[in-house]
Amino acid sequence: MAKCSVCGKPAVYVAKYEGKAYCAEHFDKWFDRRVRKTIRKYRMFGKREHIVVAVSGGKDSLAALHYMKRLSERVPGWTVEALLIDEGIQGYRPITVKDFKRWAEEWEVPYKIASFKEEIGATLDKIVMKGHELCLPYQPCSYCGVFRRYLLNRVAREMGATVLVTGHNLDDEIQTFLMNIMRHDVDRLARLGPVTGVSEHDGFVRRVKIFYEIPEKEVVVYSMIHGFFPEFVECPYARLGFRWDLRHYINLLEEKYPGTKYMILKSLLDIKESLKKDRYGEPRRCKICGEPATGEVCRACELRMLLGLMEPPEWFDVKKIKI
């Protein structure tokens, strides 16, 4: 059994890419040091912040909430709230909502829950059915991602957030990066990064990923050490997404060639930097709902019109929507 590189006690985690192992106590310290370093490096927070943590009820976002609550206790100018988006996914969301409420209450974090049903006009399950009926070419995760991002921004802003924290980790980020490359979606690639939504587009709450440089496995170890490992339930749509396969292949590569994930992240940051300058357009607002948009109308409004969840205004031609 591996021994902790710091104190020699039995290790709970081996960081292959670093050639080191850690016991629970030293893992926690090492984890905390690296997250704080990430926060400093990308200048994620100021002295006074109203922090809203986007929580899905899964381990990553619960870990982000736990971590931010702990950290905020050391910073007098910070307040922390949580926001959960209920997409309306049967057999999955109700269980994670239960977990979320339990932990938020235990950690004494105020929270808000916003649902697709009330805010968008239908649950994700309904949206997926409608999409099939209308023969729209989207996977469930595509609707889910667009509407979730839209709601997180709008509701966090309404909650008075100065910054929105998400639980995205290193694995999530490089998966999204490679997915955008494979789909030739360079615009979206330019919008990746540890901090987004900073003043380029008015109306966006600044979004930060505190686990940007932390692999998924280590977030799992963090939640186990702190005893809040949530009940494992998988979204029934997860396996239909491209991300599912990609995740598997990247993990195989990392196993065989430790350090691969960090190298991909470094490439992402370099490419993004050079793209940023010419890819960001003028800040715009959706002409229908007023939320930030890259075109005349935001993607959430486009999808709602395509799904028949919203009447198009007279001046708008639905056929113009890029499918």
167 sits in which H/E element? strand 163-169
Measured from the CB atom, is 136 or 289 closer to Zn ion? 289
56 and 84 in contact (C-beta within 8 Å)? yes
Binding range to ligand SF4, per CB under 6 A, among 77-85, 137-145, 251-259, 270-278: 137-145
d(CA 78, CA 103): 20
CA 237 from centre of chain: 17
Size of the site for ligand SF4 (CB under 6 A): 9
d(CA 68, CA 52): 10
Q: Least distance in Å: CB of 275 to ligand SF4?
A: 25
Binding range to ligand SF4, per CB under 6 A, among 95-103, 153-161, 236-244, 287-295: 236-244
Query: Which tokens is 269 given?
Result: 């940051």
Measured from the CB atom, is 70 or 239 closer to ligand SF4? 239
141 belongs to the binding site for ligand SF4 (CB under 6 A):
yes
Contacts of residues 119-123 at CB distance under 8 Å and 24 or more positions apart, as own/partner, are 119/151, 119/154, 119/155, 120/147, 120/151, 120/300, 120/304, 120/309, 121/304, 121/309, 121/310, 122/88, 122/307, 122/309, 123/87, 123/88, 123/89
150 and 300 in contact (C-beta within 8 Å)? yes
Measured from the CB atom, is 124 or 298 closer to Zn ion? 298
Q: Least distance in Å: CB of 188 to Zn ion?
A: 18
Q: Least distance in Å: CB of 226 to ligand SF4?
A: 24
116 belongs to the binding site for ligand SF4 (CB under 6 A):
no
From 21, 51, 65, 144, residue interacting with ligand SF4 (rule: CB under 6 A): 144
Measured from the CB atom, is 78 or 92 closer to ligand SF4? 92
Binding range to ligand SF4, per CB under 6 A, among 30-38, 107-115, 191-199, 233-241: 233-241
235 belongs to the binding site for ligand SF4 (CB under 6 A):
yes
310 belongs to the binding site for Zn ion (CB under 5 A):
no
27 and 13 in contact (C-beta within 8 Å)? yes
Would you call 141 helix, strand, or coil by DSSP? Answer: helix
From 51, 52, 151, 288, residue interacting with Zn ion (rule: CB under 5 A): 288
Residue 49: what are its φ and ψ, rounded to 5°? -145, 140
147 and 302 in contact (C-beta within 8 Å)? no
293 belongs to the binding site for ligand SF4 (CB under 6 A):
no
Measured from the CB atom, is 236 or 312 closer to ligand SF4? 236
Binding range to ligand SF4, per CB under 6 A, among 62-70, 73-81, 212-220, 231-239: 231-239
206 and 163 in contact (C-beta within 8 Å)? yes
- Residues forming the site for Zn ion (CB under 5 A): 286, 288-289, 298, 301
Interface with ligand SF4 (CB under 6 A):
87, 140-141, 144-145, 235, 237-238, 241
